[in-house]
Amino acid sequence: GENVEQHPSTLSVQEGDSAVIKCTYSDSASNYFPWYKQELGKRPQLIIDIRSNVGEKKDQRIAVTLNKTAKHFSLHITETQPEDSAVYFCAASIKGSGGGADGLTFGKGTHLIIQP
């Protein structure tokens, strides 16, 4: 089955600096790669996603890049702010019969700390 590795497990950056979180996946059939943000005690919330036919996607301060050949994708957050502090999870779709994201395999998470 799919295996997703995520690094680093903890990332501390100064407010205003950029943060980069990297993930690799194993199943070349995966075609959907979301990133979720989870604050303490809350549910995961989607912040950005990318499909396999796209190499990069940007939404304001957040961007995701995908390298299908190398099977890795990254989350980039620029001009970090205190409210960006949270745990971030990458995920890759599990191929199923439905044609869409029939379940996700998640990385183990990155605890992002924004230092004031």
Partner 1 sequence: DAGITQSPRYKITETGRQVTLMCHQTWSHSYMFWYRQDLGHGLRLIYYSAAADITDKGEVPDGYVVSRSKTENFPLTLESATRSQTSVYFCASRPGGSGASYNEQFFGPGTRLTVL
Interface ranges with partner 1 (CB under 8 A):
1, 6, 32, 34, 42-46, 49, 51, 89, 91, 93-94, 96-109
CA angle 96, 75, 95 (to 5 degrees): 5
In this complex, which beta carbon is closest to partner 1, that of residue 25 or of residue 89?
Answer: 89
Name the minimum Å distance from CB 15 to partner 1: 26
In this complex, which beta carbon is closest to partner 1, that of residue 40 or of residue 70?
Answer: 40
Name the minimum Å distance from CB 43 to partner 1: 4
Listed residue (35, 31, 60, 68) closest to 49, CA to CA: 35
Pairing of strands 10-14, 86-93: unpaired
In this complex, which beta carbon is closest to partner 1, that of residue 71 or of residue 111?
Answer: 111
The pair of three-digit structure tokens given for residue 78, joined into one six-digit string: 């620029």
How long a stretch of residues is the chain?
116
Name the minimum Å distance from CB 88 to partner 1: 11
Bridge partners, 101 (sequence order): none
